[in-house]
Amino acid sequence: MTYDLYLGDYAYSSWSLRGWLLFEKFGIARDTTLVDFSDQSVAEQLAKIAPARTVPTVVTPDGAILSDSLAIAEELASRHPDAGLWPLAPAARATARNLAAEMHSGFMTLRNDCPMNLRLSYSDCKPPEALLKDVQRLETIWEHARKTYGSAGPWLCGDYSAADAFYAPAAARIAGYNLPVGKIAQDYVNTHLSDPAFRRWRAMGLVHGATLPWYAKDYPTRAWPGPKAHTAKAIDSGTAENAVCPYSGVSVTHLMEIDGRTFGMCNAFCRDKTVADPEAWPAFMALL
């Protein structure tokens, strides 16, 4: 059972990040199509699967078109009851669903003032009072979930759930705009930044597509606050230790160097996403 998943730009599309995590974190197979944010309207690029007009959009194996992230989460949970999209305990599950719904419909100042941009982090965005109120609300609901249901692990309601996928872009915004939060919220943000799946998404966002200037803000910048990536670089020549790409199994054509060793990938994107954050990619780390 394979789904068709339509996504926007890795660096900038916060809703696409949510949709992708719902598949990536729960091991659900999909074929992915990227929509170009720099080219034409999203709706025009999705015309063949109308009435969809936004990303993420999912076409199910039986042809249903889902273009709402909360609907995607609930439908995947119904079709894959053993995947664990929602907590098993009824109270924790109810809380996780409520958290996802509040994120789905709220926090408009945070969304408007702090568009997700995984290529930059700012040291000071001079947050206005309305933005600080959104952040304070995040702290309130995160702290309630963590203290009530999340003590067994670092996520909101125990194990990673769809609620955590919905709040990944909020964590990225707090990190990207250096928004002030207390320890519980900051620990939760750091959990997202360190999560290998989030790191894979960000690595792809660093190397795929054009830099879109309308997502940038005129604030002083700083280094990205997540884990520091293992130093690696693309190279033009050499002899790879591996004969086939760790992702596709296809013969290597593009080379990278790490720790004085040379490895190959099947195309420039496979190489560049690995160079951006080698430790985010288990298939590559198995080679290393």
- Say what the pLDDT of residue 152 is: 80
CA distance 87 to 93: 5
Give mean pLDDT, residues 5-21: 98
| Helix residue ranges per DSSP H, the chain | 14-24, 42-45, 69-79, 90-105, 108-113, 129-149, 162-177, 183-194, 196-207, 268-276, 282-287
- In words, the CATH class of domain 3-79 is alpha beta
pLDDT attached to residue 92: 97
pLDDT digits (tens, 9 = 90+) for 194-231: 999 999 999 999 999 999 999 999 999 999 999 999 99
For 90-200, the fitting CATH number among 1.20.1440.230, 1.20.1050.10, 1.50.10.100, 3.30.310.50 is 1.20.1050.10
Instruction: With a cut of 90, say whether residue 1 has pLDDT above it.
Output: no
pTM over 0.75: yes
Residue ranges per domain, the chain?
A: 3-79, 90-200, 233-287
